Amino acid sequence: MPPPIDIKRFEQLKAVGDLPSPRGVAIAIIRLTQSADVSMAELARVIKSDPAFVGRLIKAANGLVAENRRAVVSVQEALMVLGLPAVRTLALGFSLLSNYRKGACEGFDYGRFWSSSLLMALSMQALVQRVRVVPADEAFSLGLLARVGELALATLYPADFSRLLKEVARSPQLRQLDLEQTAFAMTHCELGAAMLIDWGVPTQLVNPVLCFERPELADFAEGSREAGLVQCLVLSRAIAQLCLAPESEQARLMPAMLQLAGRLGLPRGDFVSLCERIAREWSEWGKLLQIGTARAPAFGNLCAADETESEPAASAADPTMTQPGSDMPVLIVAGDASERAHMRVLLEESGFSVHEQADYTQAIESAIDVQPCLLLVDWSGENCGASLVRALRTTRFGRTLHILALLDADDDGLLEEAAAAGADDFILRPIRPAALAVRLRAGRRTVTLQRELEREREELRHFAAELSISNRRLQEAAMTDALTGIPNRRFAIDRIQMEWAAAARHSRPLSVMLVDLDGFKEINDAHGHDVGDIALRQISATLRGALRAQDVICRTGGDEFLVICPDTDLSAALGCAERLRSAAHDMPIDTGGPRVRLTVSVGVAMREPSMANADALIKLADRGAFLAKERGRNCVMSAQVVHATS
């Protein structure tokens, strides 16, 4: 299973931060689609008030109809094709796109983010129509929002996230997720998944989103819907990366993408046709949404090139064909072209991949592009060897770079200057091949040891990540009721304290419900605890299903539940409690044997400024539950209402 989401951390971000959220008509659409008795006519009327969303909705619906069917031309037809869950998620995604096209995070490319998200949406829709793991309308929305956590981090922490992205760009070997965990105590995958759950997206769809950027953590059963979704998301991300990559990079990315398609059982020809269709739709959707799109790659040519090069590539992978040191690029920075040529010959004879730069002002950019393991830099005359080395040593990759200073004479002053700047070794002119070979062997040995050390560090980081996941799972287990699968009393205590503090700090309403099962002891006594356990699991699921997305239900005792309702006044809480009572009353319990029914008595209370703490609020709700029992059970009561009317 994927790593659990740190809900407490998410609630902290939600309470104090400005998370991306839908606005305007999208909110009305989302609320309507969450209502059990919404009519299509009422929903269509709200949708028609936003002409932009009408166009997008009809476009999305037409992407799902068969080619030989009449095109969708009205909102009502689109609603019938898509269904309410998909309409809700599309409204959410398109609202975010409209309202978060730009922001304060300088290092975050908002245009590229949305173009990539659109590509993922179209790729997911096309892929699931072949592998059929989820409905295509759900897949489109899932692809569009799969990386919304990055947008959230850019919104919440614009300066810090910008610095983090620049650090990743400078040092590609760094893992963005690891840096995010250190900087924000939550990765964009975890944050995005928590946001999707908060918006009502089913957990079965969210779990693949949580781990598709680290598929090695996905432990779904072979052939399961979640496993198929992870594969589709990984391939969709690869398609988006290739479409947005420079033309010179596309051929390099194609083989891995074809391999991913093969795992999904897609023949090359079919996959190329699918990619070409995605590219066409990308251009059409880009115009509709006013999102920048690039020229579509020539997928057929890229696929043909991969087939042509596959055999030589396999030969090149043979270790016996690899020259020693060929995986260690070297950068020469020197103004004299003849000297650079001489050193190139000596280095290539030793098996190094050689790159040159004559301009010292461009040397740092060359070093960032090449990412060399060794650097030979001329330290003579007016050249700026010292400033170049100092600048490189401030970068992450530059700290592990092995640097040789090329000196005119064995001068103690120059040696001290080179050492102070950060050079590791030196070589004197005229360059003797034997002397250079000794220096290169020393440099290669140092680089090899550094790489081994980095591998060991990566293994430790991986072990630490696994340990962190295990700890989170243990923590989640400690906070979950084993029988019903909902949060337990320990979680309830922590959560009510957090919500109490947030309500007091921001002067927001906070209500709670105490739910007591009527006649549960009699079921246990008459039919045994096994029947009682079945009834308890089913009534727990019913209660949870009757609550709103923001409400939290916890089992605090054998037949007692606490419901925490943030941002909810007493009137709204009473309405929610009545809906909960009605759901329990109407639910037949299937035990596979004796027929039993359960009702609930609910006490409701709202936080008042005079209350000392959360315990006082819970006691007041408990008083309401007691009054409900006295009144005859199967009802909702609030001591605050009784007191106000007495």
Note the pLDDT of residue 340. Answer: 86
Closest residue by Cα to residue 331 from 299, 309, 358, 312: 358
Q: Is the pLDDT of residue 68 over 50?
A: no
Q: Is the pLDDT of residue 624 over 80?
A: yes
**Lowest mean per-residue pLDDT among 92-96, 287-291, 408-412:** 408-412
Pure H helices in 132-187: 136-145, 148-156, 158-170, 176-184
Note the pLDDT of residue 468. Answer: 63
Same CATH fold, 329-451 and 7-20+100-306? Answer: no
Hey, what are 407's tokens?
A: 């000196």
In this structure, the chain runs to a length of 646
Three-state SS for 74-127 is: CHHHHHHHHCHHHHHHHHHHHHHHHHCCCCCCCCCCHHHHHHHHHHHHHHHHHH
Q: What average pLDDT does range 485-496 have in this prediction?
A: 88
Hey, what are 117's tokens?
A: 């998200």
Q: Is the pLDDT of residue 529 over 80?
A: yes
Note the pLDDT of residue 512. Answer: 95
Q: Is the pLDDT of residue 322 over 60?
A: no
Q: Is residue 317 very low, low, confident or very high in pLDDT (cuts 50, 70, 90)?
A: very low
Closest residue by Cα to residue 184 from 210, 211, 160, 148: 160
Q: What average pLDDT does range 565-573 have in this prediction?
A: 91
Hey, what are 330's tokens?
A: 């070297």
Q: Is the pLDDT of residue 319 over 70?
A: no
Share of the chain above pLDDT 90, in %: 21
As a whole number of angstroms, the distance between CA 430 and CA 424 comes to: 19
Which strand ranges, in their side-by-side order, compose the sheet holding 560-566? 552-555, 560-566, 510-518, 599-606, 636-637
Stronger pLDDT, 405 or 394, i.e. the higher one: 405
Report pLDDT digits (tens) over 536-561: 989 998 898 888 767 889 999 889 99
CATH 3.40.50.720, domain 7-20+100-306, yes or no:
no
Note the pLDDT of residue 370. Answer: 78
Q: Is residue 153 very low, low, confident or very high in pLDDT (cuts 50, 70, 90)?
A: very high
As a whole number of angstroms, the distance between CA 495 and CA 501 comes to: 10
Note the pLDDT of residue 69. Answer: 53
Report pLDDT digits (tens) over 432-480: 888 888 888 888 888 888 878 877 877 776 677 667 666 766 776 778 8
Q: What average pLDDT does range 61-68 have in this prediction?
A: 62
Q: What pairs with residue 562 in β-bridges?
A: 514, 554
Q: Is residue 228 very low, low, confident or very high in pLDDT (cuts 50, 70, 90)?
A: confident
Note the pLDDT of residue 589. Answer: 85
Q: Is the pLDDT of residue 324 over 50?
A: no
Distances (CA, A) of 105 to 109, 152, 157, 487: 8, 11, 8, 36
The residue extents of the domains of the chain are 7-20+100-306, 329-451, 489-645
Q: What is the DSSP letter of 603?
A: E
As a whole number of angstroms, the distance between CA 324 and CA 321 comes to: 10
**Block residue for tokens 């290669």:** 444
Note the pLDDT of residue 337. Answer: 87
Q: Is the pLDDT of residue 571 over 80?
A: yes
Burial of 12 (0-12, 13-18, 19+ CB in 10 A): middle
Q: Is the pLDDT of residue 67 over 60?
A: no
Q: What is the mean pLDDT of the chain?
A: 82
Q: Is residue 325 very low, low, confident or very high in pLDDT (cuts 50, 70, 90)?
A: very low
As a whole number of angstroms, the distance between CA 58 and CA 81 comes to: 10
Q: What average pLDDT does range 257-277 have in this prediction?
A: 85
Note the pLDDT of residue 514. Answer: 96
Q: What average pLDDT does range 581-592 have in this prediction?
A: 87
As a whole number of angstroms, the distance between CA 217 and CA 593 comes to: 41
Q: What is the DSSP letter of 174?
A: S
Secondary-structure class of domain 489-645 per CATH: alpha beta
Burial of 368 (0-12, 13-18, 19+ CB in 10 A): middle
Q: Is the pLDDT of residue 311 over 60?
A: no
Closest residue by Cα to residue 352 from 377, 329, 320, 319: 329
**Lowest mean per-residue pLDDT among 143-157, 181-195, 314-328, 576-590:** 314-328
Note the pLDDT of residue 527. Answer: 86
Global pTM?
Answer: 0.49
Pair 454, 399: CB distance under 8 Å = no
Note the pLDDT of residue 312. Answer: 44
Q: Is the pLDDT of residue 643 over 70?
A: no
Note the pLDDT of residue 313. Answer: 39
Q: What average pLDDT does range 89-118 have in this prediction?
A: 88
Pair 254, 98: CB distance under 8 Å = no
CATH architecture of 329-451: 3-Layer(aba) Sandwich (3.40)
Note the pLDDT of residue 626. Answer: 94
